[in-house]
Amino acid sequence: MTEPHPRFLWRNPEPKSRYEVVIVGGGGHGLATAYYLAKEHGITDVAVLERSYLAGGNITRNTTIIRSNYLWDESAAIYEHALRLWEGLEEELDYDLLFSQRGVLNLAHTLQDVRDGVRRVCANRLNGIDAEWLEPAEVAEVCPVLNVSPDVRYPVLGATFQPRGGIARHEHVAWGYARAADALGVDLVQGCEVTGIELAAGRAVAVETTRGRIAAGRIGLVAAGHSSVLAAMAGLRLPVQSHPLQALVSELYDQVLDTVVMSNAVHVYVSQAHKGELVLGAGIDAYLSYAQRGSFHVIERQLQAALELFPIFARARVLRTWAGTVDVCPDASPIVGPTPVEGLFVNCGWGTGGFKATPASGFAFAWTLAHGEPHELNRPFSLERFATGALIDEHGAAAVAH
């Protein structure tokens, strides 16, 4: 049997007492940030502090959908940058990420869905994104097991399609970044929980951790779900709220679905991974929670919706359900950049869509940490936008979790 992972991944170093850059959060975005800091900016005096084990949060709890077909120019730019990085990532990290550009369908079920879908496709094309609008017959060609009959409660009236979209294997991505960062000299410190942020003259100078005080030139908070908790240690409030996001996986079946299908209106999205398991997600649970568990009725509704679209799934079985904790912004767009506290930077609020952005998020945040100011890609995703009102409302493009 071929080995899916390398024989060596990373050291398990003791933390030093000071680093040039300390990244709080050993998830996908944190690990990618560390990697690009070392590779793009030659900054290797970097620690990634993870309270539990690397990549134990959202990076391995999501449904791994990758696409860049967001509505507004600012979002299209950063997500498309991510997709371009994805397209070279297996070679760059020398790791089999099981990256598969099988295309992503986003179904329209009402006349307004159609208007919104066409609008997004047109905007995407102006931004150089490979978006297409498909009529129902064309949707059926792309995805033969999808029920496009007009006689269902919410018939498929068309779909947006991004052929370059797809999926990848989540822990391979995180481990690929971790291994590459470790090889460049970054210290990946697990079991190291940040318990405080030390301020001196209004500047963040160190973090208190369960493994002692660690001084830092710059500190980046990249702890999806826990962003508010960490920001509060520096006296900051953020416009994010933490919600459970559930997903489920089935047993293994021979391939029946070779594209990714999302439906905002009936709230389900599904793909079939390489081993043959169906991976399904839905919307977030309504209430605030850090429990990494959601309520069953969300799963129940999600499967009712799935069977409306895919009758052939009737006898598929739910093998495992789980939840992550996502932090959600009022405009369904992230916050990536400086904070009012000097030396403290934040990368959060990716909500339900963070996985696909991992490479660009790490790339842009590394640039921000290296230069002390935002990169062009993340400049619009500032904290200030909530005061000026210049929100980047992507609820339409991000209406379901993905």
Partner 1 sequence: MRFTFAGAEYEGREGETLAAALVRHGILGGFRSVERGRPRGVYSAHEEEPNALVQVGAEPMLRATLVELRDGLVAEPLAGKGRLVAAPAPRCESMHAHCEVLVVGGGASGRAAAAAARGRVILLEQGRCAPLDGVLVLDRTVALGLYERDWVLAVERGRRLWKIRARRVVLATGAIERPPLFPGNDAPGVMLASAYEAYGRPAGATPVSGGFSPRVHLWSQAGGRLRWDERIGAPVPDGELPGVECVGRVTGAGLPDAPPFALPEGDEDEVFVDLERDVTLADLRRAVGAGLRSLEHLKRYTTIGTGSDQGKTANVNAIRAAAELLGVHPGELGTTTFRPPYVPVSFVVVAGRERGPLFDPVRTTPMHPWHVAHGAVFEDVGQWRRPRFYPRDGEDMEAAVLRECAAAREHVAIQDVSTLGKIDVQGPDALEFLNRIYTNAYDSLEVGRCRYGVMCTADGMMLDDGVVMRVGERRYVCTTTTGNAARVLDWMEEWRQTEWPELRVWLTSVTEQWAVAAVVGPDARELLAPLTRVPLDAGSFPFMAIREGEVAGIPARVCRVSFSGELAFEVWVDGRRGLELWEALASAGDATPYGTEAMHVLRAEKAYPIVGQETDGTVTPHDLGMEWVISKTKRDFVGKRSLARPDTSRADRKQLVALLPVNPDALLREGSQIVAAPNERASQGHVTSSYRSAALGRTFALALVAAGRSRYGEVVYAVPPRGEPVPAEIVEAVVYDKEGSRRDGRPAA
Partner 2 sequence: MLRIPCPWCGDRDEVEFAYGGEADLAYPGDPAALTDEEWAAYLFFRDNPKGLLRERWVHAHGCRRWFELERDTVTHAIHVRGR
SS3 280: strand
Task: Check residue 317 for interaction with partner 1 (CB under 8 A).
Answer: yes
Q: By CB under 8 A, what part of segment 329-368 binds partner 1?
A: 330
Q: Exactly one of 29, 67, 170, 226 binds partner 2 (CB under 8 A); which one?
A: 226
Q: Which residue's CB is nearer to partner 1, number 110 or number 195?
A: 110
| Strand-pair category, 18-24 with 268-272 | unpaired
Gap between the Cα atoms of 197 and 142, Å rounded: 51
Task: Check residue 237 for interaction with partner 2 (CB under 8 A).
Answer: yes
Q: Exactly one of 286, 318, 319, 390 binds partner 2 (CB under 8 A); which one?
A: 286
| Strand-pair category, 260-263 with 104-108 | parallel
Minimum Å gap between C-beta 217 and partner 1 is: 27
Minimum Å gap between C-beta 369 and partner 1 is: 26
Helix (H), strand (E), coil (C) string for 114-137: HHHHHHHHHHHHHCCCCCEEECHH
User: In the chain, what is the straight-line distance between the N-terminal and C-terminal CA atoms, in Å?
Assistant: 32
SS3 184: coil
Amino acid at 400: V
Q: Which residue's CB is nearer to partner 2, number 113 or number 331?
A: 331
Q: Which residue's CB is nearer to partner 1, number 3 or number 42?
A: 3
Q: Which residue's CB is nearer to partner 1, number 43 or number 266?
A: 266
Gap between the Cα atoms of 4 and 132, Å rounded: 34
Task: Check residue 53 for interaction with partner 2 (CB under 8 A).
Answer: no
Q: Exactly one of 252, 291, 318, 319 binds partner 2 (CB under 8 A); which one?
A: 291
**Start-end of H helices in 42-110:** 73-93
Stretch that binds partner 2, among 120-128, 240-248, 253-261, 364-372 (CB under 8 A): 240-248
Amino acid at 208: E
Q: Which residue's CB is nearer to partner 1, number 1 or number 201?
A: 1
Handedness of CA 200, 201, 205, 210 (dihedral sign): positive
Gap between the Cα atoms of 334 and 236, Å rounded: 17
Minimum Å gap between C-beta 381 and partner 1 is: 15
Q: By CB under 8 A, what part of segment 200-259 binds partner 1?
A: 250-254, 256
E-assigned strand segments in 68-149: 104-108, 132-134
Q: By CB under 8 A, what part of segment 172-201 binds partner 1?
A: 190
Task: Check residue 330 for interaction with partner 2 (CB under 8 A).
Answer: yes
Task: Check residue 290 for interaction with partner 2 (CB under 8 A).
Answer: yes
Q: By CB under 8 A, what part of segment 65-94 binds partner 1?
A: 73
Minimum Å gap between C-beta 238 and partner 2 is: 7
Residue with tokens 């999205």, as numbered in its chain: 269
- Residues touching partner 2: how many (CB under 8 A)? 25
* Residues whose CB falls within 8 Å of the CB of residue 306, separated by 6 or more in sequence, listed in order: 268, 270, 280, 313
Radius of gyration of the chain from its Cα atoms, rounded to whole angstroms: 21
Q: Exactly one of 96, 118, 217, 383 binds partner 1 (CB under 8 A); which one?
A: 118
Residues that bind partner 2 (CB under 8 A): 226, 228-229, 232, 237-242, 286-291, 295-297, 327, 330, 386-389
